């Protein structure tokens, strides 16, 4: 068993060793071993040129990283939380995402923007937004959102090796969670292909589609519903952009019901995009009931724990949505 934190640390270590163009920069990533200890031991191993502490200036160090990527270095730019990436969103979108297109392909920007995304615990409104829909909206970016340790390691390695800007949305509450990791996943050559979803549980009655931490909630809900004779197929999206809608369509054709689950806000969200794609495609003809979305509440995140719990999708909310769509 390997925690998500250790899987990310492994991936960074292996890629820093494999390619001397890779370097990590961000607040407290070096001497302090990272705010969440993702970069533990890397500064001592690789030194000041490869693991770089920055001032608290997201726009500044993100601009430095984007410029470095334009001259074929491979920066990994850590945001202490993606909520602070708003300070640097001009660099991420206008500088990184659009340059390859605007230069007719002559300038690639191989960079990874990574850090915790979405709600943690007790950090209130300004630290709890999910940026999956924000960055997933923008052409020129790839956006990945891991759940398990295998996802985290494989997607980070794939993102560092990719020649496009990749936004990697992690979850702070998953960092300390241990997951089974196969021997293959612990090898230095292991990558998870960007743009491919994974079926975490096979089922026949309803399709549950999710990403990041809510995948675990979906699996818990599926286990409860299985005792009542309802078999849920759980899909871990892994990638928000490009979205693997083919896997979702194939599942909907089989189950005839769709429920999407996400921690972000409902309006223009990831679930909304999945529902629209299903409606526009041939899988729509197989639906026996309207698709249902389970999302975060449409409010800035409250600080009080009981209110916070009611703003984030819980297992009971998923079970309720499944029963609603199956009319049971």
**CATH code for the domain in which residue 118 is found:** 3.40.50.970
- Residue 87 DSSP label: G
The residue among 163, 186, 209 that closes a domain is 186
Active site residue 257: no
The pLDDT of residue 148: 97
- Residue of 14, 15, 58, 172 marked active site: 58
Q: Distance between CA 205 and CA 66 in Å, rounded?
A: 46
- Residue of 14, 27, 78, 127 marked active site: 127
Q: Is 3 exposed, middle or buried (0-12, 13-18, 19+ CB in 10 A)?
A: middle
Q: Is residue 191 part of a domain?
A: no
Same domain membership, residue 243 and residue 148: no
Tens-digit pLDDT profile for residues 263-300: 999 999 999 999 999 999 999 999 999 999 999 999 99
The residue among 153, 186, 219 that closes a domain is 186
Same domain membership, residue 11 and residue 101: yes
Tell me: cis bond preceding 246? Omega within 30 of 0 counts. Answer: no
Backbone angles phi, psi at 51, to 5 degrees: -130, 110
Q: Is residue 53 part of a domain?
A: yes
Q: Is residue 192 part of a domain?
A: no
Same domain membership, residue 207 and residue 62: no
Number of independent structural domains in the chain: 2
Active site residue 20: no
Distance spanning both ends of the chain, measured CA to CA: 38
Please report the DSSP string for 154-181 in residue order.
HHHHHHHH-SS-EEEEE-GGGTT-EE--
The residue among 125, 151, 186 that closes a domain is 186
Mean pLDDT of all residues in 44-48: 96
Tens-digit pLDDT profile for residues 181-208: 999 999 999 999 999 999 999 999 999 9
pTM for the full predicted model: 0.96
Residues paired with 129 in a beta bridge: none
Integer angstrom CA distances of residue 210 from 82, 85, 190, 318: 19, 23, 23, 11
CATH number of the domain encompassing residue 260: 3.40.50.920
Domain range for 128 is 2-186
Q: Is residue 57 part of a domain?
A: yes
- Cβ neighbors of 171 (< 8 A, separation 6 or more) are 116, 117, 118, 212, 213
Q: Element (H or E) spanning 245, and its range?
A: helix 245-255
């Amino acid at each position: 068993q390997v925690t998500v934190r250790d899987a990310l640390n492994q991936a960074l270590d292996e890629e820093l060793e494999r390619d001397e163009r890779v370097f990590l920069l961000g607040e407290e990533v070096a001497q302090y071993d990272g705010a969440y200890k993702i970069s533990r031991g890397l500064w001592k191993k690789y030194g000041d040129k490869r693991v770089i502490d920055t001032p608290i200036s997201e726009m500044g160090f993100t601009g430095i990283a984007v410029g470095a990527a334009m001259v074929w270095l491979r920066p990994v730019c850590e945001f202490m939380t993606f909520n602070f990436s708003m300070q640097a969103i001009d660099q991420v979108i206008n500088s990184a995402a659009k340059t390859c297109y605007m230069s007719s392909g002559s300038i690639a920007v191989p960079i990874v923007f990574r850090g915790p995304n979405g709600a943690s615990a007790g950090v209130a409104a300004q630290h709890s937004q999910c940026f999956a829909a924000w960055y997933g909206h923008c052409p020129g970016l790839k956006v990945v959102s891991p759940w398990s340790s295998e996802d985290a390691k494989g997607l980070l390695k794939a993102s560092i090796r990719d020649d496009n800007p990749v936004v990697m949305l992690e979850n702070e509450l998953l960092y300390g969670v241990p997951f089974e990791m196969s021997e293959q996943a612990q090898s230095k050559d292991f990558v998870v292909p960007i743009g491919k979803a994974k079926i975490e549980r096979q089922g026949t009655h309803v399709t549950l589609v999710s990403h990041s931490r809510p995948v675990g909630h979906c699996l818990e809900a599926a286990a409860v519903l299985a005792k009542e004779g309802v078999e849920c197929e759980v899909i871990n999206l892994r990638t928000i952009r490009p979205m693997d809608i083919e896997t979702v369509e194939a599942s909907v054709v089989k189950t005839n019901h769709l429920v999407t689950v996400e921690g972000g806000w409902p309006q223009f969200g990831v679930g909304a995009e999945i529902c629209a794609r299903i409606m526009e495609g041939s899988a729509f003809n197989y639906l026996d009931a309207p698709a249902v979305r389970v999302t975060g509440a449409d409010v800035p995140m409250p600080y009080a724990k009981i209110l916070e719990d009611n703003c984030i999708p819980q297992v009971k909310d998923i079970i309720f949505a499944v029963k609603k769509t199956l009319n049971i």
